[in-house]
Structure 1
Amino acid sequence: MLRLGTVGTGWITQQLVEAAAMSGRFELAGVYSRSVEKAQAFARKNQAEQAVTDYQELLDLKGLDVVYLASPNSLHFNQALKAIRQNITVIVEKPAFSNPQEMAAIMAALADHPQAKLFEAARNVHTPNFHAVARALSGLPAVQGASLTYMKYSSRYDQVLDGGEPNVFTREFSGGALQDLGVYPVYLAVALFGVPAQVNYFPTLIQTGVDGKGVAVLRYGTYDVTVNFGKTSNSVAPSEIYGLKETVEMDSAGELTQVGLRQDGQKLTDLSAQPLVNPMLPEVQDFARVLEDPVAETNVADYHRWLLWSQQVNQVLYGLRVAGNLRFPADDHE
């Protein structure tokens, strides 16, 4: 069993812990929160061995194999770096890091500590439906672009409208729509089409100084991928990949709960797998597989592909921020 520690006590951490339990390959060694009450309550609920309020104490737990980071975005870098330097594998919520400088430092630390690994929790590209989309894409006679949408109203935006500044909507914590829901369609684009030759971003700024929603254009030379995302409104628009007479359809670039192929405008052929009991289960199973047998050829190839995607997505997100004139305090740190 892999011994897991968690940072954060929100719903996403709860979902990860439940997925880890479903996999049967993790045991919850410890829970960290700055609030002792939250740490203890989360630990009781999930039968964790210990609840701590000091991050170093979490890393020092006996036999800790993996730490999961669901802290505010700007905290990921230092927390991940400390773990890697103790040869502890990191699963970090998306976006992994604020900029390419942080990513480069993490890659250097991984090179110095080969026992540790880094996994970015971009759940959509680990699902069976993502693989179904990739297979459908490979069968298209030509690709003429895509339109990817993921837009969900955030309850935290209510706080912004009331004059507050929740972490997810602040520059201090590297927040905003691109750094949250926007990561999913960008991941999908990079995983399916590669790194774009050119990017542009048209953000809609909110009163906290970050983007509440926006439209990105990823240029691939012969075609464009348009990405539409946001946290200040809802969209039910599907996502599509365009062939010639064929269209690969997805209900959402972030969730990928329903996917299909439509040929020449005819009836949609459903390519969807069975609904997931927990949307994080496929990624948790993937990460555990690699950690349990890190030298197997397939596992080595998968891990390096996921790590490359993480670096490429980091590069694209930063390029989009530069294009949209969005800067974070994390960009000024060496």
Structure 2
Amino acid sequence: MISLGIIGTNWITEQFIKATDETKTFALTNVYSRTEAKAESLIEDLKKKDIDISTDLTAFFKKDFDTVYIASPNGLHFAQAKQALENGKNVIVEKPSTSTIKEFSLLDDLAHKNGLYLFEAARHIHEPIFKKIEEIVDKNREKLSGASFSYMKYSSRYDAYLAGKNPNIFTTKFSGGALYDLGVYTVYDAVVLFGQPEKVDYDAEFLASGVDGSGALTLKYPDFDVNIIIGKTKNSYMSSEIYFGRDTLLLDNGGDISHLDWADDNKNITDVPALKAENPMDSEASEFARIMTEKDQATYDKLLKYARTVNRILEQARTSAGIVFDADEEK
């Protein structure tokens, strides 16, 4: 197994480590946290032993492990990934990997120069159910006539924001907001299934902190549009749809996809059988490890191209809406 260090001690880190255990792909050896207590708590929850804890990032990257998984706030991704690559570590970084396309290009160049891997952890595109969607789109591509994706979920941190606190996910300092959180999933949907759009436009509903609480994103392709609604300040239970003229593929969600249906012109709705793992991060853990072990350059290049395109679209979208991050000042 591939030795693994992690940055971040939240729920998503725990889920990723459980996925690596289930798939027997990565072996956790090192944990970085700002506080030793949080690191110890995570290790205890995971029932791990003999894990090295660091509270100093420089010391952490000097330790003997192969790959780092970064699940810190968005605004910290670039600096931490850069430091990892400079220290000879492969990087798996939670989406979005960077705040700007310039940052992404710098990381890509550094990984290439040092012969290392840089993965953006957009876990849902690796799941079997998403592969089924790709199969259906490819089979019916001549009839493809557009899509609508919806991913709106009331954030567990929004009440704290309303109470006057300053959660990272709702600040420009940490590159927060709906687009750079839930929106990433839906942009990945469009890029993987349909490619790069010709035009991007985002109409955002701003919060006083300067980030978008929700919004409507339009991706224009030569023959159709993809319309996306995203939000972290309200809940939506709308299904997402991919259109093939008279027929429609229904997705129960634009990001956390767990069920598919096919609807024909007579309103007959048929279940589309598709696999969904209990841990949605199992597939990406397996795929990243396989690519590294087998040195599958073709698949790695494809994933890197997806990530670059998604990060470019995100920047174009927030620029069109007038969203400015602190990271933009470093351009």
Report TM bin, short chain.
over 0.9
Query: How much does 1:39 deviate?
Result: 1.3
Q: CA 1:272 to 1:85, structure 2 compared with 1: closer, same or farther past 3 Å?
A: farther
Q: Choose from 56, 62, 66 the match for 1:60.
A: 62
Cα deviations across residues 65-113 of structure 1 (Å, max 9, x unaligned)? 1100001111111111111122211110010100111011111101211
Distance in 2 (CA, whole Å) between partners of 1:246 and 1:274 is: 22
* Structure 2 letter corresponding to 1:332: E
The code of the aligned residue for 2:165 comes to G
Give 1:260 shift. Answer: 2.7
- Helix, strand or coil: the match of 1:182? helix
Q: Which residue of 2 aligns with 1:23?
A: 23
**CA shift at 1:293, angstroms?**
1.2
Q: Partner amino acid for 2:10?
A: G
Are residue 329 (structure 1) and residue 326 (structure 2) matched?
yes
TM-aligned CA deviation for residue 135 of structure 1: 1.0
Paired with 1:39 and 1:212, the residues of 2 have a C-alpha distance of: 31
Query: Sequence identity, in percent?
Result: 40
Give the distance between the partners of 1:137 and 1:274, measured in 2 at CA.
Answer: 17
Structure 1: unaligned runs, 5 residues or longer: none
Shift of 1:266: 4.2
Distance 1:108 1:291 in 2: 18
What SS does structure 2 have at the residue aligned with 1:249? strand
How many Å apart are 1:202 and its aligned residue?
0.5
CA distance in 1, matches of 2:153, 2:160: 16
Q: Letter of the aligned partner of 1:293 in structure 2?
A: E
Contact 1:204 1:211 in 2 (8 A): yes
CA contact (8 A) 1:137 1:248 kept: no
Q: What is residue 152 of structure 1 aligned with on the other side?
A: 153
CA–CA distance in structure 1, aligned partners of residues 36 and 283 of structure 2:
31
For 1:178-197, what aligned pairs fall within 5 Å after superposition?
178-197=179-198
Structure 2 counterpart of 1:258: 259
What CA distance in whole angstroms lies between the structure 1 residues aligned with 2:88 and 2:143?
A: 45
- Conserved 8 A contact 1:6-1:32: yes
Instruction: Give the ranges of 4+ consecutive aligned residues of structure 1 lying more than 6 Å apart after TM superposition.
Output: none
Equivalent residue runs for 1:86-235 within 5 Å: 86-114=87-115, 116-140=116-140, 141-235=142-236
Please state how far the C-alpha of 1:263 moved relative to its aligned partner: 2.6
Report the residue type matching 2:307 in the other structure.
S
Q: CA deviation at 1:311?
A: 0.3
1:129 positional shift: 0.9
Q: Does 1:83 align with 2:80?
A: no
SS class of match (2:202): strand
CA contact (8 A) 2:205 2:215 kept: yes
Asked if the contact 1:237–1:251 (Cα under 8 Å) also holds between the matched residues in 2, the reply is yes
Structure 2 stretches of 5 or more lacking a match? none
Deviations 1:196-220 (A, max 9, x none): 1001001011122110110000000
Give the Å deviation of 1:52. Answer: 1.2
Q: Kindly report the root-mean-square deviation, in angstroms, between the aligned alpha carbons of the 2 structures.
A: 1.2
Aligned residue number for residue 308 of structure 2 = 311
- Give TM-score scaled by structure 2 length: 0.96
Contact 2:128/2:276, CA 8 A, preserved across alignment: no
Deviations 1:306-329 (A, max 9, x none): 110000000000000110000111
Q: Does the aligned pair in 1 maintain the 2:262–2:269 contact within 8 Å?
A: yes
Structure 1 residues 67, 123: closer, same or farther in 2, change over 3 A?
Answer: same
Cα distance in 1, alignment partners of residues 107 and 25 from structure 2: 26
How far apart are residue 248 of structure 1 and its match?
1.2
Question: Between Structure 1 and Structure 2, how many residues are aligned?
Answer: 328
Q: CA deviation at 1:271?
A: 2.5
